[in-house]
Amino acid sequence: MNIITKKALSRRTVLRGMGTMVALPLLGAMVPALTATAKTAAAPIPRLGFFYAPNGMFLPNFHPAGDGGRDYEITPILRPLEAYREQMVVVSGLSNNGIVSPNEGGGVHTRAHGGWLSGVLPKRTEGADIEAGKTVDQYAADVLGRETSLRSLELTTESNYTVGNCENGYSCTYQNSTSWRSPTTPLPHERDPRVVFRRLFGDGGSVAARLAQMQTDRSILDSVTDSIKGLERRLGPGDRAVVEEYLSAVREIERRIQRTEQNDASTPLPSVGQPAGVPDDYDEHVEMLFEMLVLAYQADITRVSCFQMARELSGRTYPDIGVPEAHHSVSHHQLNPHNIQQYTKINAHQVSLFSKLIERLHNTADGDGTLLDHSIMLYGTGMGDGDHHTPYNLPVILAGGGCGQLAGGRHMKYEMHTPFMNLGLTLLDKVGVHVDSIADSTGRLTDL
Q: Of 437, 434, 308, 427, which Cα lies nearest the Cα of 377? A: 427
CA distance readout (Å), 11 to 8, 19, 45, 148, 299:
9, 21, 11, 11, 9
**What is the tens place of the pLDDT at every residue in 56-108?**
999 999 999 999 999 999 999 999 999 999 999 999 999 999 898 776 667 89
**What is the tens place of the pLDDT at every residue in 386-395?**
999 999 999 9
How much is the pLDDT for 223? Answer: 57
How much is the pLDDT for 101? Answer: 74
Calculate mean pLDDT across residues 403-427: 98
**What is the tens place of the pLDDT at every residue in 155-164?**
999 876 666 6
Calculate mean pLDDT across residues 155-182: 86
Do 302 and 296 contact (CB within 8 A), yes or no? yes
Q: For the chain, first and last CA: distance in Å? A: 38
Q: How far apart are CA 179 and CA 272, in angstroms?
A: 27
How much is the pLDDT for 228? Answer: 65
Q: How far apart are CA 257 and CA 102, in angstroms?
A: 47
Instruction: Tell me the average pLDDT of the chain.
Output: 84
Higher pLDDT, 204 or 422: 422
Domains of the chain with bracketed CATH: 1-43+195-277 (no CATH), 46-191+303-448 (3.40.720)
Does the pLDDT at position 327 exceed 70? yes
How much is the pLDDT for 239? Answer: 75
Weakest mean pLDDT among 143-147, 324-328, 404-408:
143-147
Strand locations in 24-172 (E): 47-53, 88-95, 153-156, 165-167, 170-171
For 51-87, what is the HEC assignment? EEECCCECHHHCCCCCCCECCCCCCCCCHHHHHHHHH
Q: How far apart are CA 242 and CA 371, in angstroms?
A: 14
Do 52 and 309 contact (CB within 8 A), yes or no? yes
**What is the tens place of the pLDDT at every residue in 232-246?**
777 777 777 777 776
Q: How far apart are CA 294 and CA 314, in angstroms?
A: 26
Higher pLDDT, 398 or 229: 398
16 pLDDT band (50/70/90 cuts)? low
216 pLDDT band (50/70/90 cuts)? low
Higher pLDDT, 328 or 199: 328
Higher pLDDT, 162 or 406: 406
- Percent of the chain exceeding pLDDT 70 equals 75
Does the pLDDT at position 8 exceed 60? yes
How much is the pLDDT for 159? Answer: 78
pTM of this structure: 0.83
Does the pLDDT at position 326 exceed 70? yes
Q: How far apart are CA 248 and CA 299, in angstroms?
A: 14
Query: Most confidently modeled of 12-16, 27-31, 339-343?
Result: 339-343
Does the pLDDT at position 256 exceed 80? no
How much is the pLDDT for 149? Answer: 83
